[in-house]
Chain A
Amino acid sequence: MIKIILNNKPVELDVDPQMPLLYALRDELKLTGTKFGCGAGQCGACTVHVNGVAMRSCITPVSAIAEQAITTIEGLADNNGKLGDSAVQVAWREFKVPQCGYCQSGQMMSAAALLKAIPLPTDEQIIEHMQGNICRCGTYKRIKAAIKSAATRVSENKSSATASLSTNTINNPNGVEIFDARQFAHKKQGA
């Protein structure tokens, strides 16, 4: 049994420890927002956050993320915990980024992780970070524009974002909630 914190909730996975997180999410937990694209860590469609860092879930065995905090597209939220309203998601809607939309969960997860690491990235930094995510429809131009817009929005709202820190989550100014794996232990003890 492998325990993780998934989108701020403790989850136990009774699967082959070698099973990549992608299939655990999709087949076992029925969270299908994270997509299969290549199965080889080459396209980024399966990107999730592990402790706030972008990871390719198709090549990450669940054994490697035991006790870690995982965020998927379904858990992306703004600073007040409002799901679906993280800065990148707001920007993605504003720029009408998606065409078919299939790769966009992974694109947004990569973008959110980028903004966490580098709040105001340059064009070069955006390209460097995002070139692992393929979009066959060709929405790259809008992805770039949306990331810049999200970055600006976040940096302008920085003070209010900090003020909205809740007690049990560590928020960052980019609208990506980062959950501390220690919470899980704490909750388990309580139970």
Chain B
Amino acid sequence: MNSIENVSRRGFLKVAGITSGTFVLGMNLPLSNAQAKLATSALNHELNFFVSIASDSMVTLVCHRSEMGQGIRTSVPQIIAEELEADWQKVSVVQAKADSKYGSQGTAGSASIRNHFTSIRQIGAVAREMLEQAAANIWQVEQASVKAEKHFVIHTATGEKISFGELASHAAKLTPPESKTVKLKNNADFSLIGKDVKLVDLDNIVAGKAQYAQDIQLPDMLIATIVRPPVVGGKVLSFDASEALKIKGVVDVIALKPRSIPVTTNPLSGVAVLANNTWAALEGRKKLKIKWQHGDKAFHNSSEFSKKLAKQVNQQGETVAKKGDVYNHQYNNKNTVEATYTVPYINHSPMETPAATAIVNGKKCTIWAGTQNPQWAKGNVARELGLAKDEQDNIELNVTLMGGAFGRKSKADFIIEAVELAKASKRPVKVIWSREDDIQHGFYHSISANYCKAELTDNGSADYWLSRNAYPPIGWLWNAEAKTPSDAQLALGFGDIPFALNNLSIEKHAVDSFVRPGWVRSVACINNGFALGSFVDELAVKAKVPTRQMWLNLLGDDRHVDPNENGFKYSNYDLDLTAHPIDTKRMKSLINLISDKAKVEQKLPDNQGWGISFLRSFGSFVAAATKVEVVNNKVTVLEMHTAVDCGIVVTPDRVKAQMEGAMVFGLSIALMGEISVEEGKVQQSNFHDSPVTRMNQVPEMHVHIVESDAPPGGIGEPGVPPVAPSITNAIYHASKTRIRDLPVNKVFSV
């Protein structure tokens, strides 16, 4: 909620102070087609930091959040244009640089719309009221007697109208109204929200003209590739660059400065080869001779570690939430189910590997990077350059499109690398990561173990529920002593179990860290959702009822669940629990919807099976159903469905696209997602040994979107968690083999 304050107080009030005249926005823009267009177009009048209108009525909207494929560069402007009453045909979009004047720019946690819907609407509404006021002033009437409609302000009594273009210069001179006082549209009057408009970046992408961080070209630029320590915390003892420097095109070899633990989001250090072109840099890199000191993480072995975590969760842990008493209960073995689930390290593998370009000139620095966290990155760079807080504006951080991110590009390590090397070489430097770099030096989804135990009850449900997990916490990045996840992390499908239970114990365990942990699309919901979704299916099997029935019975009566009642400090993804309740009615209707749409209870051949699962995450409700066939030890996924209730939908086709993508991402996790570590070193190197889903593994897919007036939930991540358990549950129903240790390809060919 901070960001709303940021936008309304800092943003608009600041604007109010400086809007004495007109403003050419072109000065402010990153390199883009829109910039060139603006420079030649009519004078632009800035109504607030996000909205400018030219005298020819063309509206320029700033998208302050980062595009990684979710379509946010369409959805944010769409919301602003809705409240502005702008004609979408006359809207062009420019990407914001990193600047705190925009409020939050951190594009993570599926938060752009779920946490900022109202504040983004207010941006448009403030500008609209300024246009209305300007027209009212011209007509010398009350503002209430005019209204904006499709790029004009109309005097309702006379039908007279003035275009946005004609009003822009007048409106820009007005003091913006307080964002909290502006009137927002009724949902029923939406003409853009909920409609599929033309996607902002589609034409450029299809023409091969879209510009990603890897595509930045500057005069005199060097390309840098970096050999990083194979073990986290490792250091360069010595290196010999003589052979590398003999490669034609190699300009310099530079040792990056050593870094220490806590690793934070700093670079890993290493040795960089800088060259006039990529090929020379890569060839030079092959000739580098480096002696490493691997440090104290060099004994880490992930398969042994997984077994250790599995043992750990079979012991009592530290209480996270508690109700009744599960420990003074005599479990009846006949009706009790107990299971341990393990998930390995998982990498993001965005198709575009990390890349950033920097120019450093004394205290001035210009950067082009694909980053999910522009302001955070800027702060990191300021620290790197030793700039004081008030000197941060010396840094210009241009945000490019990202060729996928999935959480990887929330970290600024690759941006700091570019800054460090640009400073050392005194030339523009583009740091590019190879695929091997990306796979071996990532911020991984943590290896984990989850344990569940419960006893079936006479009414077809379960009670005396135990949930435990153990995994290296993300907090270790900043605090080397951190051993357990924060409450916010535990809220991800773990502390928020929505079932009607009388006796419950949720526990966490302390775990050491050996590789850099990170946020991978849906974060701890990956392992917690896998455990929960698998365990409900196991309970259903034990009770000999359809899995749908077990979900419905466990969820119980229609109600709003409050995990705080069990002593858990529940943050609800920073959403207000009243506006975004854990609503069992919505859950049950979604489970029924997916079961009915996919016809999961239909009779199938012996070697086929349906699996379903569900998780509410990031403010949205998603159920998944998968049909598989298991023949000759090979799993073939035949059909997949997801059903999503994410409240108000802004861009329906992009919601659908995110659900389709989540099914494919979930397939990768379930079937073959694994980063393994031996002696502290990642064993995989490229797509041949770190495979992701290909077209031949993708089944028939269906997406069902629930119509809803509820406040919007997230959409980038919530599709992922139910997918993997729906697949492994289906495998069980097809083959009677229960997969509790991901990925599936340890047991079956996929």
Contact = CB atoms under 8 A, between A and B. Distances in A.
A40 B688 CA distance: 9
A101 B205 contact: yes
B701 A100 contact: no
B217 interface: yes
B353 A36 contact: yes
Contacts of B695: 126-127, 130-131, 133, 140, 143-144
A156 B663 CA distance: 34
Interface string A121-146: 00000111011111111111111100
Interface in A35-61: 35-40, 42-43, 45
B694 A131 contact: yes
Contact of B692 (A33, A126, A136): A136
Nearest to A103: B351
B277 interface: yes
Given A137-B404, A143-B695, A45 B208 contact: no
A99 interface: yes
Interface residues of B, number: 62
A89 B280 CA distance: 34
B715 to A, nearest CB: 12
B661 A84 contact: no
A139 B657 contact: yes
Interface string B618-660: 0000000000000000000000000000000000010001101
B425 to A, nearest CB: 17
Interface string A1-39: 000000000000001101110010011101011111111
B138 interface: no
A99 B687 contact: no
B577 interface: no
Contact of B352 (A15, A102, A127): A102
Interface in A68-121: 72-74, 76, 83-84, 89, 92-93, 96, 98-105, 108
Contacts of B282: 39
B497 interface: no
A102 B403 contact: yes
Contacts of B203: 84, 93
Interface in B702-722: none
Given A19-B279, A26-B278, A134-B687, A98 B202 contact: yes
Nearest to B67: A100
Contact of A33 (B208, B276, B434): B208
Interface string B224-255: 00000000000000000000000011000000
Contacts of A126: 695
A101 B403 contact: yes
Contacts of A93: 202-203, 206
Given A27-B223, A140-B695, A32 B351 contact: no
B388 interface: no
A32 to B, nearest CB: 4
A27 B653 contact: no
Binding site of B, secondary structure by majority: helix, strand, loop or mixed?
loop
Contact of A101 (B69, B279, B660, B687): B69
Contact of B657 (A26, A45, A96): A96
B573 interface: no
Contacts of B402: 100
B651 to A, nearest CB: 10
Contacts of B211: 32
B87 interface: no
B445 to A, nearest CB: 15
B207 interface: yes
A136 B350 contact: yes
A182 to B, nearest CB: 27
B201 interface: yes
Interface string B445-464: 00000000000000000000
Given A32-B217, A40-B686, A45-B351, A100 B403 contact: yes
Nearest to A76: B208
Interface in B590-639: none
Contacts of A83: 207
A101 B278 contact: no
Contacts of B68: 100
B432 interface: yes
Contacts of A89: 206-207
B75 interface: no
A89 to B, nearest CB: 5
Interface in B392-447: 401-406, 432, 434-435
A18 B279 CA distance: 9
Interface in B315-370: 349-353
Contacts of A28: 277
Contact of A140 (B205, B432, B698): B698
A98 B542 CA distance: 43
Given A38-B435, A99-B71, A131-B695, A138 B687 contact: no
B312 interface: no
Contact of A32 (B215, B223, B653, B688): B215
Nearest to A130: B695
A45 B686 CA distance: 14
23 contacts: A35-B352, A43-B687, A72-B208, A73-B208, A74-B207, A84-B207, A89-B207, A99-B657, A100-B68, A102-B350, A102-B352, A104-B206, A127-B696, A128-B696, A132-B694, A134-B351, A134-B694, A136-B350, A137-B69, A137-B351, A138-B698, A140-B698, A141-B660
Nearest 7 pairs between A and B by C-beta?
Answer: A33-B208, A138-B664, A102-B403, A100-B69, A73-B208, A101-B205, A99-B69
Interface of B: 67-71, 199, 201-203, 205-212, 214-215, 217, 223, 248-249, 276-280, 282, 349-353, 401-406, 432, 434-435, 653, 657-658, 660-665, 686-688, 692-696, 698, 701
Given A99-B661, A135-B351, A137-B404, 20 more contacts: A20-B279, A27-B277, A35-B351, A36-B353, A39-B282, A39-B434, A83-B207, A84-B203, A84-B207, A93-B206, A96-B199, A98-B201, A98-B202, A99-B70, A100-B405, A101-B403, A105-B208, A134-B694, A136-B349, A136-B692
